[in-house]
Structure 1
């Protein structure tokens, strides 16, 4: 294989993944697994292993940013990460003994779920935008009658979690670790909603806390995949190299590109990718 196929194309894919991550805050695993499988022809196990390998440096970069800006709960992230570190090798082992089609079906279900969530949020954002536009006139009139505008709400003081909440975090990590090792995704799709519902942290803290957990829980799974010889290091490193400038570009495009349209387009892309992944695995595409 030539340099273009080995490094340049994966690096370009990494740029796209980085841009999407910077714009939408999505994890790269949902994109990398189908691309590795469909575009680069990797086996299901190698696709998930290489994705898991590439997730670690990107999650470290994201987690460092959240820690710096204090938009995460470090203790909870570490607790969930340690829980996931115990079970991510189990996910890798399950992938080794599972039929290839089952791994890809599981990955397709996760990708499809992520797409549905993205599209659902897009519809909500569109409804909110319409409501704001319709109420703009009334709000302006009401504002004219008020002499003193209400002060902006201050950020809540940092919370110290109880031992019970941290143990719940460990339990959440246990489940995320299995999923991460099995299908090569970070596990945020499990951790974020459970941290919100079971522990009660704020949404703005959940993403960063999840990234802290991911950078910890993925390590044992990657080590096991490396020992088994399942990782395509060239493609994985190229993806990471491309995703770094891509994330910077994405962060700068946030104020320029309409998020609503982007969510609809990318959500649709993920649904198509999930469907093709399943059809390809069962030989329906030829």
Structure 2
């Protein structure tokens, strides 16, 4: 793999925070033609998966960027910025089919805004090894929940005082995980909105994308200030993903809810195995 440290030093946003853990010299992102093609391919995959499952795509972006040379910390921060255009495209696609609950999304975002700032702060402080294992545990949790779910295509969320409080608390938790792991939050929001709050599979996906969009912006701003974002990589992946997200949305509506859940679980299984192996190797060093 070609390593170009000089390129990384130009594309990471130069904000002086004084935090040694964020030193850009840790990063050697492959920006050769091969590396740029890989980023574009990742963007295609992220866009389709985002549209299909209502996720931001961080579960694909983070491992890919680590493989291309970023640290786990900078990959997670860069992933959050790439999620912004991806989420916008997905929301528009789902909104055309009336599969977005705007009120619920606003409530969840209120919690995610607070949680995202906490997660971003933790991202700048926690050791690299802790971040890798946190990602593995997160994937395992989501996979188990997704396998247990039995999604419906007709149900909607009934808003009560208890539901509103629950959505806010859940939003805070999702925001912390999003900021810490570099995910949009959809991988936890979608199953939670279906299992805990009774949303249909399509509404859960569309609502999740809408809730994560402003959270991805606010968290990315915090990450930029902490000098953790590789802007060029984020733009390449995010723009390509935004163009392909409508295809994923079409696939989501074409398959049955149970088929969609099985596909999502299978995707998480593959990702879990790879992430576990990477974390295990890092632990043995």
Per-residue CA deviation, residues 245-273 of structure 1 (Å, 9 max, x unaligned), is: 433454566769x9799667634421222
Task: Specify the SS of the correspondent of 1:199.
Answer: coil
Matched, 1:4 2:33: yes
Cα 1:171/1:250, change in 2 over 3 Å: closer
The 2-side partners of 1:283 and 1:270 are apart by: 20
Name which of structure 1's ranges 230-239 and 260-269 shifts more when overlaid on structure 2.
260-269
Task: Specify the SS of the correspondent of 2:184.
Answer: coil
> In structure 1, what is the equivalent of residue 197 of structure 2?
199
Per-residue CA deviation, residues 214-239 of structure 1 (Å, 9 max, x unaligned), is: 11222221111011110011111111
The 2-side partners of 1:199 and 1:160 are apart by: 8
Cα 1:41/1:253, change in 2 over 3 Å: same
Indicate the structure whose relative CO is greater, using CA pairs within 8 Å and at least 6 residues apart.
1
- Matched residue pairs, number? 251
TM superposition shift of 1:196: 3.1
Task: Specify the SS of the correspondent of 2:68.
Answer: coil
Matched, 1:226 2:208: no
Larger radius of gyration: 1
Q: In the alignment, which of 41, 60, 70 is matched to residue 69 of structure 2?
A: 41
Matches within 5 A, 1:58-207: 58-116=86-144, 120=147, 161-207=159-205
Q: CA RMSD in A?
A: 3.2
Task: Specify the SS of the correspondent of 1:190.
Answer: helix
Cα 1:159/1:18, change in 2 over 3 Å: closer
> In structure 1, what is the equivalent of residue 241 of structure 2?
243
> In structure 2, what is the equivalent of residue 266 of structure 1?
267
TM-score normalized by structure 2? 0.75
TM-score normalized by structure 1? 0.75
